Amino acid sequence: MKFPPNRFPPSKPVLVIRTGHAPKPIRARHGDFAHWFCLAARLPSSQVRVIDVTAGERLPAPNEVAGALITGSAAMVTERAAWSELTAGWIRNAMDAELPMFGICFGHQLMAHALGGRVDYLPGGREIGTLPIDFLADAPLDALTEGMPTSFRAHTTHEQSVVEIPPEATVLARSERDPNHLVRYGKQAYSAQFHPEFNAEVMRAYIRRKHADMQREGSDPRQIFREVAATPVARGLFRRFVHLHMGQKAAPPPPTQ
């Protein structure tokens, strides 16, 4: 796979929009969202600017950054918190400026909400574990997902989901229960319900934490725990986005799985 020339000056940092934190016991052992993003995308911390919107930190103008990565959160988009709605407004402005963006989990839902989609609780309850994700018909035609296998595994943990995508958005991948796992908005903006930034140990930590909830909801946490595995395609997709759209150092294409 050939990578195009860098589009952005290296002096511009990649913005990580922090919309929450990992639970404290997980954070103490494994680090937090921004750290996982840097590891997954192979971004040195010197190239990253982290803004915590939940603490009221002000987002920079879109032309001041090479692109934006939006984290997950324990918050719910449907709560319409003031910081969340302000960030949704910033996303709309960034889309007008054609800024590259990639949202994950809450970030995925917030992007869809900001751009005219609808977020609500996933029918049937929580989706959690390392699950198969299937690419759809448009995926081979997209620069981000071309050359990928027809399906791959990804880590998931969410109760809410994008139940209606925005007008003119395109769904690129789905799971058995969630039809909108990977969405493209325009030329340089994507979002994923799954977690490409998780490694297997982080996924296991979330299952341990949610063990009682999962039992109460009728799922088998032990079986789901046993099925946790590496997710190289999901992580490679995230890394590919950062290179293709933010002008960062080239990374090899994701391996098949």
CB contact set of 5 (below 8 Å; sequence gap of 6+): none
Q: What secondary structure, in 3-state letters, does 116-133 show?
A: CCEEEECCCCCEEEEEEE
Alpha-carbon distances, residue 85 vs 77, 78, 88, 137 (angstroms): 9, 10, 5, 33
Residue 27 structure tokens: 């954070």
**Strands 151-158, 101-104: pairing kind:** unpaired
Q: Which residues are catalytic?
A: 105, 195, 197
**Strands 151-158, 182-185: pairing kind:** unpaired
